[in-house]
Amino acid sequence: MHVSAALDVDVVAVENDDEISVLFEITAPAAPTSEPRPAATVQIVLDRSGSMSGEPLDAAKAALVSLVERLDPTDNFGIVAFDDTVQIVSPAGLLTDKQVDRRAIAAIDAGGSTDLSSGYVRGLQEAGRLCGATGATVLIVSDRHANAGVTDPVQLGGVAAHAQRHGITTTTVGLGLGYSEVLPAAIAAGGAGNHKFADGTDCA
């Protein structure tokens, strides 16, 4: 930082009282070049059970497309979808071809019952493959309580806590008015993430 000062007169009479003005000029150093943010690893676990059919699933898919657009090609991204089975919609990896992910998202359709636990565990496995020094985030999007697989909040909260100790944070988003928050809230708490509610027609 450079500081300079200048008077508004050239000569000051020391034997007389007078007022003078002083101009201080401060020159700050050049701002440092903005460093790129560290690459993110984002793994989606999307509920595609029968109750998601229609507006909830359409809104979730639109939100995922929006997320893809906001991420950088250097970020890792993947999608696991679940009903009573688990489907890897987009394997976790660098987001080098967004069009591929947009097509994969568009092809997701609704299925059967809600085995959230199986979808979550598979999502953790995908995130774990790419979880580096900056960690990873698993985002669960669902519209209702689980009715298949492991449904105990304490047990799944423990799974989330174990993953968090290995650098994977879990956040949950609940859709629609019929949404039950007990299980997702326990997972988010264990995973040191957030638990959010969104209108099933607008979760972007």
- Domains of the chain plus CATH, in order, are 41-198 (3.40.50.410)
**End-to-end Cα, the chain, rounded Å:** 45
pLDDT band at 1 (very low <50, low <70, confident <90, very high): very low
Q: Do the bridges between strand 168-175 and strand 136-142 make them parallel or antiparallel, or are there none, so unpaired?
A: parallel
Interval 13-34: pLDDT, tens? 656 666 655 555 656 666 665 6
> Which segment, 73-77, 171-175, 190-194, is predicted with the most confidence on average?
73-77
Q: Enter the pTM of the model.
A: 0.77
Q: Which two tokens stand for residue 42?
A: 């984002």
Is the distance from CB of 84 to CB of 52 less than 8 angstroms? no
Residue, of 46 and 143, whose pLDDT is higher? 46
Percentage, residues of the chain above pLDDT 90 = 33
pLDDT at 103 over 90: yes
Handedness of CA 11, 15, 21, 25 (dihedral sign): positive
Interval 128-144: pLDDT, tens? 988 878 899 999 988 86
Q: How far is Cα 161 from Cα 2, in angstroms, rounded to an integer?
A: 51
Between the CA atoms of 196, 199, 200 and 203, what dihedral angle is there, to the nearest 10 degrees?
Answer: -60
